[in-house]
């Protein structure tokens, strides 16, 4: 029976789309398999602890009523975080788009144009002249020290020669 065109999602059948197996392969890396296993272990463990608290509460332990609610909430939170990370990974791949195949005519790829972390820009500033015209000796020494630190960015304050 052919699918109903009004409800059929043709976008999920394109290659490398998150709805296909090609799009899901990034969720089967060793790191993601470890995340999937951790999620299942935590959810089963938390639900088991919740059931244990239910049985203790049925035996008359009043404090266990709170824990009987708390453990399933923890399990739900684990599922929520896992689902959010899966969706984030799928959306990131969709936003990047399909990577074009490198052409042989283009030659080697250039190095990355922009580094991931950029250093701040240094601006040399001229110290303002004092209003009174006469400068304090300690202020002159301190300004000389700051100028030396600015000229030697890798140096430590203990390296100052003066």
Q: Tell me the pLDDT of the chain (162 aa) as tens digits.
A: 555 656 555 554 444 555 556 667 778 888 899 999 999 999 999 999 999 999 999 999 888 999 999 999 999 999 999 999 999 988 877 666 655 555 555 555 555 555 566 666 676 776 666 556 556 788 888 888 888 888 888 887 788 877
User: pTM higher than 0.75, yes or no?
Assistant: no
* Structure confidence at residue 13 (pLDDT): 47
* Structure confidence at residue 51 (pLDDT): 95
pLDDT digits (tens, 9 = 90+) for 7-29: 555 554 444 555 556 667 778 88
The distance between the two most distant Cα atoms of the chain, rounded to a whole number of Å, is 95
Residues 6 or more apart from 152 whose CB is under 8 A from it? 159
* Structure confidence at residue 105 (pLDDT): 53
* Structure confidence at residue 57 (pLDDT): 93
* Structure confidence at residue 44 (pLDDT): 97
Q: What's the CA angle centered on 83, arms 79 and 86, to 5 degrees?
A: 140
* Structure confidence at residue 139 (pLDDT): 86
Distance CA 80, CA 72 (A): 12
| Per-position DSSP letters for the chain, written without gaps between them | -PPPTTT--SGGGSTT-TTSHHHHGGGGSHHHHHHHHHHHHHHHHHHHHHHHHHHHHHTT-TTHHHHHHHHHHHHHHHHHHHHHHHHHHHHHHHHH-PPPPPPSTT-SPPPPSS-SSPPPPP---PPPPPSSS---HHHHHHHHHHHHHHH-TT--GGG---
Q: Which two tokens stand for residue 152?
A: 């030697």
Question: Shortest CA distance to 122 belongs to which of 152, 160, 89?
Answer: 152
pLDDT digits (tens, 9 = 90+) for 115-127: 566 666 676 776 6
Whole-Å CA distances, 40 to 4, 48, 54, 80, 126: 35, 12, 21, 12, 62
Residues 6 or more apart from 148 whose CB is under 8 A from it? 155, 160, 161, 162
């Amino acid at each position: 029976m052919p699918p109903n065109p009004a409800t059929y999602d043709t976008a999920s059948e394109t290659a490398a789309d998150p709805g296909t197996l090609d799009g899901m392969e990034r969720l089967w890396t060793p790191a993601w398999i470890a995340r999937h296993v951790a999620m299942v272990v935590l959810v089963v463990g938390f639900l088991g602890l919740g059931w244990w608290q239910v049985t203790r509460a049925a035996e008359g332990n009043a404090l266990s009523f709170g824990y009987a609610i708390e453990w399933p909430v923890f399990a739900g939170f684990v599922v929520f975080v896992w689902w959010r990370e899966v969706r984030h990974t799928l959306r990131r791949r969709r936003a990047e788009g399909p990577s074009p195949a490198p052409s042989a005519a283009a030659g080697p790829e250039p190095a990355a144009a922009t580094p991931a972390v950029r250093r701040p820009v240094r601006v040399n500033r001229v110290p303002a002249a004092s209003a009174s015209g006469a400068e304090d000796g300690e202020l002159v020494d301190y300004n000389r020290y700051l100028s030396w630190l600015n000229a030697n960015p890798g140096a430590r304050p203990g390296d100052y020669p003066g």
